[in-house]
Structure 1
Amino acid sequence: MKYQNWFVPVLLLGGSYSSFVGAQEITVMISGGFSAALDQLAPMYQQKSGDTLRIIHGPSMGQSPEAIPHRLESGQAADVVIMVGYALDKLQQAGKMTPGSRIELADSRIGAVVRSGTSVPDISTPSALKKTLLEAKSIAYSDSASGQYVQSELFNKLGIADEVHQKAKMVEKTPVASVVAQGKYEIGFQQVSELLPVKGAKFIGPVPDSLQYVTRFAGAVVAKSSHQQHARQLLCYLASAQAKADVEKTGLDALTSTVADCPA
């Protein structure tokens, strides 16, 4: 799914969970790595809380109009942002987030996909991964944190940067698995949680541990939000023990919150 400049509403299912008076519409800006987890948890959360979630997708960084920092800088309203941790650092430093509202949510690892129905290559060891990449006719990687690592470090660690330079391409705005599913690239790399939901692509496994790069996803309340408590409650729920199983189903390593302001 391409990042687009439009809202993705999630239906209100009713019910009551919140101790705060009055249901609210909470606008969430979110990057790809945690999106599948939010999709899993949103209906349940809305049923319990009574709030409605309005979800805007966009990358954690970059210069595109869809990028979360650009959206906020241009004055688009939001209550919560969920994105790559070090990109969130910059928004905090710029005073865009409510102090003390940040909650660590999950860690994401890099994996690979090929087109469904094609042979599955071996990437289980550094030597196997190197062989697979050298033999691949084309390689895709994302324009996010995982892709920057693949481009600037992974190829160098494997000693094949020069050999793959012409056939390895950064895919902008579009999930890597979708272009692999279309047959545009033979193999693609991105965070596991972004690869798994894409139909037509076969997940072949994570990058070996010795070459792995872990991306932290975190959330915070937007300083200008008029729904501070409701926004905080959503983040607490996403980091709670009851949300852990659904988060991990999407390929993430959940981090349950120990923040004092969150209910036990």
Structure 2
Amino acid sequence: MRSHHLKHKALAALAALALAASAHAADLHVVSSGGFAQAYKDLSPQYERASGDRLVSEWGPSMGATKNAIPARLARGEAIDVVIMVGDALDKLMAEGRLEPGSKVVLANSPIACAVKHGDPRPDIHTVDGLRQAFLHAHRVAYSDSASGEYIRHQLLDKLGIREQMEGKAAQIPATPVGEIIAHGEADFGCQQRSELKPVQGIDVVGVLPPEVQLNTAFSGAVVRGARNPVSARALLRFLAAPANAAAIEATGLEPVAATH
């Protein structure tokens, strides 16, 4: 019954988009960070068909010093209509006046997970001690330069009491997904947002961090201040946040907030 209700709501949402398509069909420039990227990729064709808009999509981390990082893109004045990124980093850009006030939409929460190269022994990380041993037994550990990696670097290693032991064999990876580093054999254990690990071929996701040391990261979207197509930008965010799309978001390893609305 619930699935039938959601299907009906999805059809209604798409119908509304279709009716509005002729009024504001546009090229919509979107930059998404990796945590929400797969969900966005899965849902964007449906939005394009219904709205008539063409999504011009690029990717970049929510923070960090790389040239593709979303704050860096906005600072140099790239023509962007919508950003999708870690909520805390988005809030900072909102406070700096780079995003349209009131346009923030929370889309999903993302837990941190860990992975090994496909076929390698899978450590049991369901307990804090198991996670600690997985870190200590690995020859090289990788984590990201975005929200999950910042948490690991500044908090998790201390919570596990292994900061000194990990010196020299745990590294923060700029720009490149952690899963790719593991798949290529440059690390034998690594952690990142579960939704960023799941799409990577050649690795096995062994589980999420135990609840006692887990950090759930909210991913949100907002309209960029001065966006060329603000009407389409808001329509896209409403579509992504629609309860009817919760299952598609959940399938990528995220926890949709729409499911609780």
TM over 0.5: yes
* Counterparts in 2 of 1:191 and 1:209: CA distance versus 1, 3 Å: same
1:98 counterpart = 2:92:
no
CA distance in 1 between partners of 2:202 and 2:244 (Å)? 31
Matches within 5 A, 1:120-139: 120-139=122-141
Partner of 1:17: 18
Q: Who is 2:5 aligned against? A: none
Q: Distance in 2 between matches of 1:120 and 1:90?
A: 38
For 1:18 and 1:140, locate their aligned partners in 2 and report how far apart those are by CA, in whole Å: 47
**Are 1:41 and 2:43 counterparts?**
yes
2:32 match:
30
TM-score under structure 2 length normalisation: 0.91
The superposition leaves residues 1-20 of structure 1 with CA deviations (integer Å, 9 ceiling, x where unpaired) of: xxxxxxxxxxxxxx962525
Q: What amino acid does structure 2 have at the position aligned with 1:101?
A: S
- Contact (CA 8 Å) 1:85, 1:218: kept in 2 or not? yes
Aligned partners of 1:159, 1:47: CA distance in 2, in Å? 51
Query: Which AA in structure 2 matches 1:135?
Result: H
Distance of 1:73 and 1:156 partners within structure 2:
33
Q: 2:24, 2:232 within 8 Å by CA — same for their partners in 1?
A: no
Partner Cα distance (1:258, 1:130) in 2: 33
**Superposition TM-score, scaled by structure 1 size:** 0.90
CA RMSD across the alignment: 1.6
Shift of 1:247: 0.5
Any gaps of 5 or more consecutive residues in structure 1?
Answer: 1-14, 260-264
**Whole-angstrom distance in 2 between the partners of 1:116 and 1:243:** 30
**Are residue 160 (structure 1) and residue 162 (structure 2) matched?**
yes
Alpha-carbon spacing, 1:255–1:18, altered in 2? closer, same or farther (3 Å): farther
Equivalent residue for 1:150, pick from 152, 156, 161: 152
Q: Distance in 1 between matches of 2:182 and 2:175?
A: 14
1:65 aligned to which of 37, 42, 67 = 67
- Matched with 2:228 is 226
Identical-pair percentage: 43
Task: Give the helix-richer structure, 1 or 2.
Answer: 2
Letter in 2 for 1:90: K
Measure how far apart 1:26 and its partner are: 0.5
Give SS of 1:113's match. Answer: strand
Q: Is the 8 A contact 1:104 1:257 kept in 2?
A: no
CA drift of 1:64 comes to: 1.7
| Counterparts of 2:53 and 2:174, CA distance in 1 | 33
List alignment gaps of at least 5 residues for structure 2: 1-14
How far apart in 1 are the matches of 2:245 and 2:229?
Answer: 22
**Does the CA contact (< 8 Å) of 1:137 and 1:167 recur in 2?**
yes
Q: Report the counterpart of residue 56 of structure 1 in structure 2.
A: 58
* CA distance in 2: counterparts of 1:188 and 1:85, whole angstroms: 23
1:110 aligned residue (94, 109, 112) = 112
Quick one: which amino acid aligns to residue 189 of structure 1? C
Deviation at 1:110, TM superposition (A): 0.4
